[in-house]
Amino acid sequence: MRPENESTIKETVKRFISSSTNITNLDDDENLFESGLANSLFAVQLMTFLEKTFAIEVEMDDLDIENFKSLNASTAFVVKKSGKRDNG
């Protein structure tokens, strides 16, 4: 994955988080779930968004809070899954 693609992913994820939660001035490493500002449906909405937007599939082995806890974590997860998909 090229760096500009990673930054595009990050921007796209950031827009979704900002439009789905009441977190303002989102810090890249802010824990979305500990902040209490994400509603109870947000976890599955974020997962659905990542799957739909980046054509990846969140699987059982991916169920780790480290993959989704922050903007940076979600971006890194998408980069990793996209790489696996593209490399077969």
Partner 1 sequence: MQHLLTCAQKAKYLEFKNFVSSNVEPFSEKWDQEQKIPERVIFSVAESGYLGSTLPLNYGGQGWDIVTFGLLNEALGRGSSSLTSVVTVQAMVSMALLKWGTDEQKAKWLPPLATGNMIGAFALTEPGVGSAVQALATEFTQDAVHDTLILNGKKQWITCGQHAGLFLVFGKLGQSSIACLVPADALGLEIEPIGGLMGFRSAGLAKLTFNNVRVRSSDIVGRPGFALSHVAPVGLQYGRISTACSGLGLLRGCFEESIAYSAVRRIDEKTVGEFGMIRTLIAGMGVDLEAGNFLCHNACRAENDHVPEAFEKALTAKLFTSRAAVRAASDAVQIRGASGCHESSPVSRFYRDAKIMEIIEGTTQIHEHLLGKIFVDQAARLCN
Q: Considering only 5-13, 46-54, 69-77, 80-88, which stretch makes contact with partner 1 by CB under 8 A? A: 46-54
d(CA 73, CA 86): 20
Is 49 one of the binding residues for partner 1 (CB under 8 A)?
yes
Please give the radius of gyration of the chain, using alpha carbons only, rounded to the nearest integer.
Answer: 12
Residues 6+ apart with CB under 8 A from 65: 33
Q: Considering only 3-11, 18-26, 77-85, which stretch makes contact with partner 1 by CB under 8 A? A: 18-26
Is 54 one of the binding residues for partner 1 (CB under 8 A)?
no
Is 36 one of the binding residues for partner 1 (CB under 8 A)?
no
**How many residues bind to partner 1 according to rule CB under 8 A?**
24
d(CA 63, CA 58): 8
